[in-house]
Amino acid sequence: MNNIILGLSFTMVILLSCVKEDTNDTPMSDYKVSADFSTDIQLLNSGTAIHFYDHSTGGVNQWEWYFEGGTPERSTDKNPTITYNDKGQFSVSLICSNYFARDTITMDSFITVLDLNEGLVAYFPFNGNANDESKTAINGNIVDAVFTQDRFGNENSALSFDGDGDWVTCGTDNRGITNLITISLWVKSSDSNGIILSKYNIIHANPGYILFINKDGYPGLNGRDSKYGDYIRPTLSDAKINDSEWHHILATINNDKWELMVDGLLVGEILSQSLSPYLTNDIELTIGHIINDTNVPSREIAGLVDDVAIYNRILSSKEIEFIRLYGL
Ligand SMILES: [Ca+2]
Ligand SMILES: [Ca+2]
């Protein structure tokens, strides 16, 4: 008998609870939350701080973020700022909640962090000087060229060469480069037959490399990767660059593979098929001309050059994309 009374009482409590919930003004379903977020940028260079923005819905009043590889790794801010110091691909999780409900969103490999200082052996941003801002720190010496607006409209942030006695010398040091190199730079010119950058002597058959605009306005990457070896000229597609617009030039020499990209597209490639390719020499690295056997400059460029970066390694396609879109 007691068991029956207890059972009835329990049933009544449940019924009362249901009645109480049913008469509440706000049904439980209205407290449902949904986690969502965005960020400034998903591809970034190491050492960069980025913002995350909460877009969760449902009256959220608590946020718990987890940033793999980030500093800090956890935050309870609504819109936190996170710094990424190490390269890699990292996930981001957000748990959002109110007093009644919570939701979690995890995005794997959401953030890609590059290290564009790794292997950077020359960097001339030409922002008011010809300092080499890489760890090599062999500054350039400007001859006659003047500073002008860069591609973003910033004053004194690119170098202008007038085609007559203007260039920059950057020393004969090989900067640790032997058989791998990536060169990234920007050029704006209406010129033909001008040298953009060279570490090569046009008389001696030594290793070295030249970036230039040829007589028809096409960009070129030529050179040698062995003493008395074949002169290497990647085949060029029809991408003229002497149109007075800024163009991103990217050259790589990966052992015997020479490649040239313009504005993110591969325009020329060739295999030198050298058995032991190398690029070292004792010739001046110059921007804006080439030297011949008697150290007489020639093929001086008329145009603007900016943000010259040289690596002693081959950049990945993501790194190349980053440099082209955002710079160093
Ligand atoms: Ca610049
Ligand atoms: Ca001049």
Domains of the chain: 28-114 (2.60.40.10), 120-326 (2.60.120.200)
Q: Is the pLDDT of residue 204 over 90?
A: no
**How much distance in Å is there from the Cα of 161 to the middle of ligand 1?**
14
Q: Cα 168 to the chain's mean position, in Å?
A: 25
Q: Looking at 99-113, 169-183, 200-214, which range is the least confident one?
A: 200-214
Length of the chain: 328
Query: Three-state DSSP class for 243?
Result: coil
CA-atom Rg of the chain in angstroms: 30
Contacts of 311 (CB under 8 A, 6+ apart): 119, 120, 121, 181, 182, 183, 184
- The rounded distance, in Å, linking the Cα atoms of 100 and 149 is 57
Amino acid sitting at position 259 = E
Query: What is the DSSP code string of 125-149?
Result: --SSS----STT----EEES-EEE-
> What confidence tens digit (pLDDT) does each residue in 28-42 have?
556 799 999 999 999
Contact predicate 264/248, CB 8 Å: yes
**How much distance in Å is there from the Cα of 153 to the middle of ligand 1?**
10
Place 291 in a pLDDT band, splitting at 50, 70 and 90. Answer: confident
The more confidently predicted of residues 160 and 275 is: 160
Place 179 in a pLDDT band, splitting at 50, 70 and 90. Answer: very high
Q: Looking at 22-36, 118-132, 156-170, which range is the least confident one?
A: 22-36
**How much distance in Å is there from the Cα of 128 to the middle of ligand 1?**
8
Q: Is the pLDDT of residue 22 over 60?
A: no
- Quick one: pLDDT at residue 47? 96
For the chain, give the percent of residues with pLDDT over 70.
Answer: 89
Q: Is the pLDDT of residue 226 over 80?
A: yes
**How much distance in Å is there from the Cα of 211 to the middle of ligand 1?**
19
Contact predicate 181/310, CB 8 Å: yes
Ligand nearest to the CA of 188: 1
Q: Cα 163 to the chain's mean position, in Å?
A: 30
Sort residue 303 into left (φ over 0), alpha (ψ -120 to 50) or beta: left
Region 287-303: mean pLDDT is: 82
Could you give phi then psi for residue 229, rounded to 5 degrees? Answer: -75, 175
**How much distance in Å is there from the Cα of 281 to the middle of ligand 2?**
28
The top-scoring range by mean pLDDT among 4-13, 18-27, 202-211 is 202-211
Ligand nearest to the CA of 157: 1
Neighbouring-strand partners of residue 129: none
Region 96-125: mean pLDDT is: 97
Region 272-277: mean pLDDT is: 92
Query: Three-state DSSP class for 161?
Result: strand
> What confidence tens digit (pLDDT) does each residue in 38-81 have?
999 999 999 999 999 999 999 999 999 999 999 999 999 999 99
**How much distance in Å is there from the Cα of 148 to the middle of ligand 2?**
14
Place 7 in a pLDDT band, splitting at 50, 70 and 90. Answer: very low
Q: 195-199 and 286-287 as β-strands: parallel, antiparallel, unpaired?
A: antiparallel
72: preceding bond cis by omega (within 30 degrees) = yes
Neighbouring-strand partners of residue 223: 209, 232
Could you give phi then psi for residue 10, rounded to 5 degrees? Answer: -60, -45
Q: Is the pLDDT of residue 20 over 80?
A: no
Share the mean pLDDT of the chain: 90
Q: State the distance between the two ends of the chain, measured CA to CA, in whole angstroms.
A: 84
Contact predicate 314/180, CB 8 Å: yes
Could you give phi then psi for residue 222, rounded to 5 degrees? Answer: -130, 170
Ligand nearest to the CA of 144: 2
Sort residue 99 into left (φ over 0), alpha (ψ -120 to 50) or beta: alpha
Ligand nearest to the CA of 302: 2
- Quick one: pLDDT at residue 17? 37
